[in-house]
Amino acid sequence: MVFVTSNLTRIVLWWFATVVFWCSEISGAKVKHVTSSHWLPATATWYGSPEGDGSDGGACGYGSLVDVKPFRARVGAVSPILFKGGEGCGACYKVKCLDKSICSRRAVTVIITDECPGGYCSGGKTHFDLSGAAFGRMAVAGDHSQLRDRGVLNIVYRRTPCKYPGRNIAFHVNEGSTNYWLSLLVEFEGGDGDVGSMHIREAHSTEWLKMSHVWGANWVIVRGPLRGPFSVKLTTLSTGRTLSARDVIPGNWAVKATYTSRLNFSP
Annotate the chain with three-state secondary structure: CCCCCCHHHHHHHHHHHHHHHHHCCEECCCCCCCCCCCCEEEEEEEECCCCCCCCCCCCCCCHHHHHCCCCCCCEEEECHHHHHHHCCCCCEEEEEECCCCCECCCCEEEEEEEECCCHHHCCCCCEEEEEHHHHHCCECCCCHHHHHCCCCEEEEEEEECECCCCCCCEEEECCCCCCCEEEEEEECCCECCCCCEEEEECCCCCCCEECEEEECCEEEEECCCCCCCEEEEEECCCCCCEEEEEEEECCCCCCCCEEECCCCCCC
d(CA 242, CA 249) in angstroms, rounded, equals 18
Mean pLDDT of all residues in the chain? Answer: 86
Residues near 133 by beta carbon (within 8 Å), at least 6 away in sequence: 51, 52, 53, 54, 73
d(CA 215, CA 123) in angstroms, rounded, equals 22
Q: Angle at CA 52, nearest 5°, toward 110 and 96?
A: 35
pTM: 0.84
pLDDT greater than 80 at residue 52? no
Specify the pLDDT at position 88.
95
pLDDT-based confidence at residue 26 (cuts at 50, 70, 90): low
Task: Pick 54 or 201 by higher pLDDT.
Answer: 201
β-bridge mates for residue 103, sequence order:
139
Specify the pLDDT at position 25.
58
- Please count the other Cβ atoms lying within 10 Å of the Cβ belonging to residue 71: 23
pLDDT greater than 90 at residue 33? no
pLDDT-based confidence at residue 130 (cuts at 50, 70, 90): very high
Single-letter code of the amino acid located at 149: D
pLDDT-based confidence at residue 177 (cuts at 50, 70, 90): very high
pLDDT-based confidence at residue 54 (cuts at 50, 70, 90): low
| For residues 111-140, average pLDDT | 91
Q: What is the per-residue pLDDT across 86-98, written as a single tens digit (0 to 9) for each?
A: 999 999 999 999 9
pLDDT-based confidence at residue 36 (cuts at 50, 70, 90): low
pLDDT greater than 80 at residue 28? no
pLDDT greater than 50 at residue 176? yes
Specify the pLDDT at position 109.
94
